Amino acid sequence: MLELGMREIIIILIVALIIIGPKKLPDLAKALGRAMGEFRRAADDLKENLDINGVKEAKDKLMRDINQTQFAKDSSTEEKEEPPQAEVTEKEKKD
């Protein structure tokens, strides 16, 4: 994000003090802090919801893949199975 050094922060505070004034600056700082806290909570909630939905979607996709693989396996084994053949005895082999 933004990397502010000590000099930049001091300059911003001095400019804010000159523009806003010493009486209103604490109220503005408090309001700004609350707004940032609410924004951070909203962003965390959104991130959590996206993570939960992403996990659910991945789980659903995995289950579909497993079911398709199992179905393909079952289908292929049914097609490959040959009917049982009768055993040929040695007497029949001689004939």
Structure tokens at 20: 């806003």
- Mutual orientation of helices 25-80 and 6-20 as an angle, nearest 10°? 130
Structural domain boundaries in the chain: 8-71
Give the pLDDT band (50/70/90) at residue 92. Answer: low
CA 18, distance to chain mean position in Å, is 46
**pLDDT, tens digit (0-9, with 9 covering 90-100), for 23-43:** 998 898 899 899 999 999 999
**pLDDT, tens digit (0-9, with 9 covering 90-100), for 44-78:** 888 888 777 777 787 888 888 888 887 777 666 55
pTM above 0.95, yes or no: no
